[in-house]
Structure 1
Amino acid sequence: MSDLPPWRPLLKGARQREGRSPAARWLQLANVAADGTPRVRTLVFRGWADGATLDLLTDGRSAKAMELRHQPAVELCWLLSRARCQFRLRGAVMDLPAPLDLQERQRHWRALSPAGRALWGWPPPGEPLDPGAAFPTELADDAPMPPQFQLVRIPLEQVELLELVGHPHRRRRWRRHQAWREEPLNP
């Protein structure tokens, strides 16, 4: 990864201050449903596709997947409590060419643990619970990647950092169209 935006080392440092806490990988994704109402969900950060493009995973049968196809603009909030900071990331879900999408989904599928893969073997999210439905705890390394295993790749257009330390708090913004130049803001 060359030419990292200046906010990336700050995010990396904040995540490192979280230690081994699983919460260091949790982001809240805000989007708009087809009926115009807001939605917020927590997803797991899966890595960087490049300096300012992040990868998340979702179940293609979920309402979220359908909403993102309808309206790809999103904002992510990454609260890192030990570091006492909040990153606000804006972008739009990218529609990848089919061969690249398949390649990248396979890469992420292989990187998951058997327990992590198991989630995609569960019944469709948000549907009524069937007491007899199977909820596997693991899917083996050789388990085929299910079609509902979807990649959500988001090239970021804007990043804000709110640091909740000191008086007053510190807030900064970087925007892609300004070559990621830092802009100080009122907190």
Structure 2
Amino acid sequence: MTALPPWRPLLRGAREREGRSPAARWLQLATVAPDGTPRVRTLVFRGWADGAALDLFTDGRSAKPAELRQQPAVELCWLLPKARCQFRLRGDVLTLPTDLEWDERLRHWQGLTPAGRALWGWPEPGAAFDASGGFPSELADGTPLPEHFQLLRIELAQVELLELRDHPHQRRRWRRDDGWTEERLNP
């Protein structure tokens, strides 16, 4: 097993300080739209694929997948208010081999609760609202994997940590191409 990058225990500790708050799993994903303008959305952290690759989900009918095919480089911002820190994660959305992608999507789908799967039973995101479109609160176990349930696996290349507790604030950076060696930065 590969050793964890040195920033991973720091992120885990910061998330633990958030307690059971749902915000401990929320992070913001920045992408670039086809017209070159920025887009930011909040997504839910779904787990680590390995030491420096994380999994997120998206609806394939939304704009994100097309944006990411055009420009797979992303930045994530994970603000953990109780820990008073912010992690900035840069990387690329990976294109997985078809069989692996299917297996990973299915594994994640089966791991969701019925309420967690419900969003993928809703009408197309961003389309005109239609109350008769149906917004289920649950999708039962055994519900087939929808094609629009998409996995975003992001391989990280750089991580910055800004700690907002002390004066002055503390800022550190780790880069994969430097073997995740810690570098201190001005805040």
Q: TM-score, normalised by structure 2?
A: 0.99
Q: Which residue is 1:2 aligned to?
A: 2
Q: Which residue is 1:106 aligned to?
A: 106
Runs of 4+ off more than 4 Å:
none
Q: How far did 1:104 drift?
A: 0.2
Number of residues of Structure 1 aligned to a counterpart in Structure 2? 187
Distance, in Å, in 2 between the alignment partners of 1:13 and 1:135 is 36
Q: Which residue is 1:16 aligned to?
A: 16
Distance, in Å, in 1 between the alignment partners of 2:70 and 2:120 is 22
Identity of aligned residues (%): 73
Q: Which residue is 2:175 aligned to?
A: 175
Q: How far did 1:64 drift?
A: 1.1
Q: Which amino acid is 2:151 matched to?
A: L
Q: Which amino acid is 2:178 matched to?
A: Q
Q: Which residue is 1:138 aligned to?
A: 138
Residue range with higher mean Cα deviation, 1-10 or 84-93: 1-10
Task: Provide the aligned C-alpha RMSD in A.
Answer: 0.6
Q: Which amino acid is 1:27 matched to?
A: L
User: Does residue 52 of structure 2 align to residue 52 of structure 1?
Assistant: yes
Q: TM-score, normalised by structure 1?
A: 0.99
Q: Deviations over 1:46-105 (max 9, x none)?
A: 000000000000000001111111111100000000000000000010000100000000
Gaps (5+ residues) in structure 2? none
Q: How far did 1:2 drift?
A: 3.2
Distance, in Å, in 2 between the alignment partners of 1:186 and 1:71 is 30
Distance, in Å, in 2 between the alignment partners of 1:146 and 1:130 is 21
Q: Which residue is 2:79 aligned to?
A: 79
Distance, in Å, in 1 between the alignment partners of 2:56 and 2:87 is 16
Q: How far did 1:178 drift?
A: 0.1
